[in-house]
Structure 1
Amino acid sequence: MIACFLDGELSSQRFGQGLRSRLVEAGQAEQLLTHADLSDAGANLARRGLLAATRGYGENRDLFENFPAQVTWTRALLSGDEVAGARYIDYSYWVELSGGSRRPADAAARIKAGLRAFDVPNEPFVEAARAFAAGERFPPLIMVGERLDELVCLEGNLRLTAYALAGFPSDIECLIGTAPGMGRWAR
């Protein structure tokens, strides 16, 4: 999950530059994230430390406040309908973009209607949806929940919105984390 999360954020307009700066500070190359060797214990520790420093992973703070320590991770292809049933994280921007529902289909409808959340341009969503429609494939979404029918997007909310704008036309690769205590985080 850590390698997948960091690889997804590396291409993010919002988080990518900060992550690159942390890599430089740690004396690491982007290859640590783009070509993760999960059999390398030292590299795994470096990635874990990077996610802790940038997002609070394993430290019960920031994005990972109330995130369970023991999570079962599974790679899966979810149908468009399954992904459409997921919610955004409980963060003011995503709540506003979706009109309060935290549902990506509601956000897509609002974007198509020209509505913006906090006056932030919607072009990145539209550009990502076009790229997806043109055949570009994105990193897996990271979804979490206590059960598979109550998933919240931990990482990949922009990509989730792009899929919604495209109408969820195909199966979507996801990394799914489940844990009995995930409801405290995924409220």
Structure 2
Amino acid sequence: MRELGPSSEDEMVACFLSGELSSRRFGQNLRSQLAAVGQAEELLTRPDLSDAAANSARRALLAAARGYGENRDLFENFPTDVTWTRALLSAAEAARVRYLDYSYWVELSGGSRRPADAAARIKAGLRAFDIPNEPFVDAAQAALSGERFPPLILVGERPDDLVCLEGHLRLTAYALLGFGVPTGIECLVGTAPTMGRWAR
């Protein structure tokens, strides 16, 4: 893993929300949450990490949408003492990242939670719970065409044993391309001694 420099909780929250805003599955709910609190999308699309009020608003938004900081939903058992780093992963390192322990990703990967196994199953025409695989194929084509994706957010007790927190579709798209991204795969890596309670 090539470390690019320190990151922060505020950057992670901004990155997480930016990734979900562009998601077909989660984007509309996030827009509804923004509207409910009278915030514009620019809070997420143009984050100013030096603005404490904006950082607080984003944390509140992630709490409302996904349970961040409230020990519920996606962030149940997620530690508070996380060290965040910006990094680039090689193809081999990215191939070792595991999916979240969630039924869809377990099924898509044939039980391994490895994106390379999911990619092989997608190429074989297999679906998880009969959900179409086209979004993965479309994202892989976009990456092949040079589109730059937001960083993946990966967590673990150590940098060599990581689970995907945000960016599963992008991770699967990279897997479909054999993780062959010439510049490396950009990510935020969060580590904590107690992360194993979340990153099983």
TM-score (norm 1): 0.99
1:98, CA displacement in angstroms? Answer: 0.1
2:187 aligns with: 174
Do residues 79 (structure 1) and 94 (structure 2) align?
no
Inter-partner Cα distance in structure 1 for 2:162 and 2:197: 13
Inter-partner Cα distance in structure 2 for 1:23 and 1:45: 13
1:23 aligns with: 34
Displaced runs of 4 or more, over 2 A: none
Inter-partner Cα distance in structure 1 for 2:113 and 2:161: 12
TM-superposition CA deviations, 1:16-60 (whole Å, max 9, x none): 000000000010000000100011111011000000000000000
2:127 aligns with: 116
3-state DSSP of counterpart to 1:151: strand
2:19 aligns with: 8
1:80, CA displacement in angstroms? Answer: 1.2
1:116, CA displacement in angstroms? Answer: 0.1
Do residues 67 (structure 1) and 114 (structure 2) align?
no
1:184 aligns with: 197
3-state DSSP of counterpart to 1:154: strand
> Which amino acid is the alignment partner of residue 194 of structure 2?
G
Inter-partner Cα distance in structure 2 for 1:15 and 1:28: 17
Q: How many residue pairs align between the two structures?
A: 187
Inter-partner Cα distance in structure 1 for 2:56 and 2:148: 28
2:65 aligns with: 54
Inter-partner Cα distance in structure 2 for 1:151 and 1:142: 10
Q: Percent identity?
A: 79
Inter-partner Cα distance in structure 2 for 1:132 and 1:167: 12
1:89 aligns with: 100
